[in-house]
Every structure is written in structure tokens, then in C-alpha cells.
Amino acid sequence: MTDISTTELIIKQKELEAMVQQQSHDVVTITETWWDDSQSWSTALDGYKLFRRDKSGRRGGGVTLYIKEAFDAKGIETKEDGVECLWVRIKGKANKADILLGVCYRPPNQEEEVDNLLYKQLENVSGSPTLVLVGNFNLPDICWELNTAEKRQSRKFL
């Protein structure tokens, strides 16, 4: 595996900015950002609040959420280390419920103990009637149309 050069990072950043601005998305999520404190490029996007959780202690991983500044959004702190999830509560407007938005990266072959930390985290943050969880869960045996799975670990996730 090779590292991405500074030039490639700038190109990727410009592509991301163009796509987000052209589509005018309210929310953008990214998994496997590979970002850390040494990034030589700006991760901010005009008009968006940035929430990020970098993977510490090893290369790879990391998750990011961009939410339009027009939304009243606040990050939710979680205590479970080892789970690559980021949670944001978007304040509901005019008698509408808050939306709890999570982005998660689950590495392939993740241990069941770490999955259990994810489930605990879901339990702890899921006080909102409207919960949206997106990400890369790396559970290829799940049939999302039928909500079925072959492996026990995948069935537990469902």
C-alpha cells in the first residue's frame, strides 16, 4: 500500500468540495478517511460543520460527518474506545423530534467483543425516536432486502 501524496490529497479535496457544493447535500458522511493530526490539507468545507473521529493507534479507519451550518447539530461524546462511530444530534424544528445521526466504520473480521461495544454505544445514544445509522459495516452475508444473514455475527447485527 502506498501513501497518498500531497498533490493527490489536494485533488481529492477539490473533488469532494465540487461534489458537495454541486449536489448541495445536507449531510455528507465518509468512512475510512485515514485522517490524523498531520494532514497537510484542510478538511473543512464551506457552509458545513465538520465532525470527525480519527482512528488512533494505527493507520486507516476514521469517520467524518459534514452537516450544513443551517442545522443545529451537536456532537455526542461516547466512551467506548475501539468503536469507529461518530454520533451527532440534529435539533428538530417546530415540534419535530431530534434526529440522531451516526456514521460507523466496522473493519472486516472485527471481533465480536468490539461489535458488543458498538451495540452498547447504540443503546446509550438511541434516545431519539429518529435514528439514522450509515457506514461501512463489512458484513457481506447480510441480505438487506430481506433482513437475513448467514452468519451468527451478522444476524446479531441485524
Q: What is the pLDDT of residue 3?
A: 44
Q: What is the pLDDT of residue 5?
A: 45
pLDDT classification of 1: cutoffs 50, 70, 90: very low
Give domain status of residue 1, yes or no: no
Give domain status of residue 117, yes or no: yes
Range ranked top by mean pLDDT from 31-35, 51-55, 77-81, 146-150? 146-150
Cross-strand bridge partners of residue 50: 66
Q: What is the pLDDT of residue 2?
A: 35
Q: What is the pLDDT of residue 76?
A: 84
Is residue 108 pLDDT above 60, yes or no? yes
* Domain limits for position 98: 6-157
At 130, phi and psi to the nearest 5?
-115, 105
Whether 106 contacts 117, CB under 8 Å: no
Give domain status of residue 85, yes or no: yes
Burial of 2 (0-12, 13-18, 19+ CB in 10 A): exposed
10-49 residue pLDDT tens: 566 777 777 777 777 888 887 776 666 665 446 677 888 9
Mean pLDDT of the chain: 79
Q: What is the mean pLDDT of residues 94-119?
A: 86
Is residue 149 pLDDT above 90, yes or no? yes
Largest CA distance in the chain: 50
Number of domains making up the chain: 1
Instruction: Report the share of the chain in percent with pLDDT over 90.
Output: 15
Q: What is the DSSP string of 77-113?
A: ----TT-EEEEEEEPP-TTPPPEEEEEEE--TT--HH
Residue 86 sits in a domain whose CATH number is 3.60.10.10
Give domain status of residue 126, yes or no: yes
Give domain status of residue 15, yes or no: yes
Whether 27 contacts 69, CB under 8 Å: no
DSSP state, 27? E
Q: Rounded distance, CA 100 to CA 155, Å?
A: 23
